[in-house]
Structure 1
Amino acid sequence: MLIALYFFMVGIKFIESGFILALGCGAKSAFSIADNPLAGLVIGTVSTALLHSSSTITSITVTLVASQGLTVRQGVYIVMGANIGTCVTCIVVAFGQIQSRSRFQRAMETAAVHTMFNLWSVFIMFPLEIIAHPLERLSVLLSHSKASGGEFGSPVDAVITPFANLIIQVDKETIYAITAGTKECTSDTSLLVGGAFKGTSLSDGQVGATVVVIGFFTLACSLIWFVQMLAKVFLGPTKVLVSRMLAFNGYVNIAAGTIITFIVQSSTVVTCTLTPMAGLGVFTLEQVYPLIVGANLGTCGTTLLASLVVGDSHAVAVALTHFWFNFFGIILFYPVAFMRRPILSWARSVAFFSASWVVVGIAFILMTYLIVPGLLLGLEQLCGLFWYFARGGRHRWHAFLEHKYAEREERRRREETAMLSEVV
């Protein structure tokens, strides 16, 4: 079972590295359009869904904010989107039990409840953040950290990376630097630094696409194997024991999900293990819900550690918004039973219709992570064009640029005057 889980995580690593390599220098342009709340939310959602890694996206965001490539306010919305995007892996895992309608429905409930929790959190906190910026203000207030230096690493990555590097090894530091604007990306720039494809005639894009295909194949095979092993383990007394343990107290389950995820530094490992277990009927949706929201909170540890290594207070503020977003999500949608109902009922509805017609599950993935974000981004661009050409936006924008230029020139003159005064 552990071998199956290992290759499952290797498959996710292949997909992540493949997409990073395929995107290459385009990553900078993708993040550069996150200049308003809606665009930031969409970029965070889609990029995380593609890479199957919220940690990578939040770490890039932290690096961009530290290098002043993004503001803290822009980073907040990308982090919100990353919380939605990371749920796609669970849904993919649920399809591993599609051969049994009842198992698939239970697994899909668990996967969907993860998505619904983050969607409902965004429904509430996204407009509030636009109006009053509570997450940003609270995070900036608490972000005066002077820690810097050192390294941190996920124990899961420490085990998976050596094998994955035999196939593909991507220079993440370079992609962070390119995205942050501290390094230029030229036609000769290659992010492939090792692995079986190093030294071949294939371009970075071709290697990335090939590895993504290998990743999905590895993911599918290991997932089927993993579910079969779980079915053998959780039969009889083991299933009853785990169910009784999780029935003890929901708040204990939240704490357990948080601690376990913080230790392994991967919510994907935790939630993707829980999803097939739920499909096998090891626990109910009500029992797994607190574990999942706890895992959501625990994954914030990776971003916080990354920001402390960077040592920039603005980067720490972005990492704290990740924590506060998930923390307030738990406060909103767990203690009061009435507030859990929309999340649980929506998850059950998605699972029921997906189990009845598989195409509904596929449509749910496409709508949530591709079509709706694309429509929202397109609508935002159309509104921007309408404002620019029909509402005097062009004149206002040029006036704004002239004002900023005048401010910059005035600041430069003051600095030159101050330097001359010191010389005299």
Structure 2
Amino acid sequence: MNESVNTSAPTLDDTTKGNLMQWVTVVGLVYLLICAVGMIGGGFKMATGEQAKELFAFASNPFAGLVIGTVATALIQSSSTVTSIIVGLVAGGLPVEVAVPMVMGANIGTSITNTIVSLGHVRAKEEFKRAFSAATVHDFFNLMSVVIFLPLEMAFGILQKLGSMLAAPFYDAGNVSMGGMNFVKAATAPIVGNAKNVAGNFGDHIGGIMLIILGIAVIFVAITLIGKLLKKLMVGKAKEIMHTAIGRGPISGIASGTLVTVLVQSSSTTTSLMVPLAGSGAFNLRQIYPFTLGANIGTCVTALLAATAVTGNAEAALQIAFIHLTYNVLGVLVIYGLPFTRYLPVYAAERLGETASENKMVALAYILGVFFVVPGLCLGVSAML
């Protein structure tokens, strides 16, 4: 008796069609992300009217803003989500000077993901030492950036000035001067406008709050799904780029870290991909270190994209997105560019990795302390001042 067995594999056409549909879905989700940022800006403006500055008076202390950005990102585990929300809030009236420390805090909070990933190597002492060091080098770099640039920003407003300069060419007397951006606003206007109209039926305050909540929810879902789809589509390519570029010099490492993060739209994913490589000993910490710096730069793309189509104070929204980019680029140029500061994060991460491998409770205390306990104490102290 002959039995026919269906051994046919998916054809190339089937695979191509599947990938094409996934890319179309990514584009659709990016569109929703941009719409959601517009909703947050519109909702915030509706809910606060002209009182936005007073509403965030508690965060006018830069340390409070820093803590808010750190804890929010540590909880959500996505700096792209948090910075996109910040862009929407700025478009709705949140003062740029209040938003700057929040963006800095988002950089710190995002590094919790790869630190948690390193705990997967905890059973093997040497492997855990290497993995935990590779994860926390990102933390120490971001902490150093804050220590250097937050005081400078408080004293001179350097990042605000640079962000304003970069945003200015896109605007002419408050209107977008580059025609290429107009179609983005036009494309998102129907959804954002209809959402505002529906929310307006509940009154400005209630409707504005509803619009903010909806926008945050859509951003969270959109970025999560974009990340999953891009991982499926691009992580294989990302790993190839990593293996090709890591160990070929700092410029190659930084460039590849930036590119991989743009491809997968998640600095957490990028840095987490390195942890197993470090744990296995395939690459040492100094080889991986530049790659993490590139991840910081690549993660800025989401907020920049979101800022191109917001309503309300659009120029300020683009300014804060450029501030995020400028801050991360300057961090690389200053900390990595100067020989006497270049490897300070590496030394600190190596010492912490050695200590944590001897006493595993140190790793847990570090995660809870840096990302939750210390920020909480700082927020409490700043509230009393």
State whether TM-score is above 0.5.
yes
1:115 to 139, 147, 152: 139
2:184 to 150, 163, 173: 150
Q: Is the 8 A contact 2:68 2:102 kept in 1?
A: yes
Structure 1 residue 60 corresponds to structure 2 residue 85:
yes
Q: Could you report, residue by residue, the CA deviation over 1:222-276 in whole angstroms, capped at 9, with x for unpaired residues? A: xxxxxxxx9xxxxxxx99x987852222111111111121122111111111111
- What does 1:34-73 align with in structure 2 at a 5 Å threshold? 34-68=59-93, 70-73=94-97
More helix by share: 2
- Provide the residue aligned with 1:12 in structure 2: none
Post-superposition shift, 1:184? 4.2
- What does 1:241-320 align with in structure 2 at a 5 Å threshold? 246-310=246-310, 312-320=314-322
Q: Which runs of 4+ in 1 moved over 4 A?
A: 28-32, 189-194, 241-245
* Distance verdict in 2 for CA 1:243–1:356, change over 3 Å: farther
TM-score between both structures, scaled by the size of structure 2: 0.68
Q: Distance in 1 between matches of 2:328 and 2:149?
A: 10
- Provide the residue aligned with 2:192 in structure 1: none
Post-superposition shift, 1:381? 1.5
Aligned partner of residue 207 in structure 2, secondary structure: coil
Post-superposition shift, 1:89? 0.4
- What does 1:118-137 align with in structure 2 at a 5 Å threshold? 118-137=142-161
Give the letter for the 1:131 counterpart.
A
Q: Distance in 2 between matches of 1:62 and 1:277?
A: 34
TM-score between both structures, scaled by the size of structure 1: 0.62
Q: Distance in 2 between matches of 1:63 and 1:181?
A: 17
Q: Distance in 2 between matches of 1:190 and 1:333?
A: 39
Q: Is the 8 A contact 1:243 1:283 kept in 2?
A: no
Q: Is the 8 A contact 2:184 2:308 kept in 1?
A: no
Post-superposition shift, 1:286? 0.4
Post-superposition shift, 1:36? 2.3
Post-superposition shift, 1:75? 1.0
* Distance verdict in 2 for CA 1:190–1:308, change over 3 Å: closer
Post-superposition shift, 1:325? 0.8
Q: Distance in 2 between matches of 1:306 and 1:183?
A: 22
- What does 1:259-408 align with in structure 2 at a 5 Å threshold? 259-310=259-310, 312-383=314-385
Q: Could you report, residue by residue, the CA deviation over 1:173-202 in whole angstroms, capped at 9, with x for unpaired residues? A: 99xx99x9783447xx999999xxxxxxxx
Give the letter for the 2:317 counterpart.
A
Q: Could you report, residue by residue, the CA deviation over 1:113-147 in whole angstroms, capped at 9, with x for unpaired residues? A: 00001000000001110000100111012213223
Q: Percent same amino acid at aligned positions? A: 38
Q: Is the 8 A contact 1:113 1:344 kept in 2?
A: yes
Give the letter for the 1:263 counterpart.
L
Q: Distance in 1 between matches of 2:70 and 2:217?
A: 28
Q: Distance in 1 between matches of 2:166 and 2:215?
A: 36
Aligned partner of residue 309 in structure 2, secondary structure: helix
Gap regions ≥5 residues in structure 2: 1-42, 171-175, 186-194, 219-223, 225-235
Post-superposition shift, 1:341? 2.7
Post-superposition shift, 1:277? 1.4
Q: Could you report, residue by residue, the CA deviation over 1:50-96 in whole angstroms, capped at 9, with x for unpaired residues? A: 0001111101100010011x111111111000000000001000001
Post-superposition shift, 1:285? 0.4
Post-superposition shift, 1:357? 0.6
Equivalences, count = 290
Deviates more, 1:50-59 or 1:370-379: 370-379
Structure 1 residue 80 corresponds to structure 2 residue 108:
no
Q: Is the 8 A contact 2:69 2:103 kept in 1?
A: yes
RMSD (Å) for aligned C-alpha atoms:
3.4
* Distance verdict in 2 for CA 1:245–1:193, change over 3 Å: closer
* Distance verdict in 2 for CA 1:359–1:32, change over 3 Å: farther
Q: Could you report, residue by residue, the CA deviation over 1:350-394 in whole angstroms, capped at 9, with x for unpaired residues? A: 1111111111011111111111111111111221xxxxxxxxxxx
* Distance verdict in 2 for CA 1:242–1:128, change over 3 Å: closer
Structure 1 residue 89 corresponds to structure 2 residue 123:
no
Q: Distance in 2 between matches of 1:31 and 1:356?
A: 44
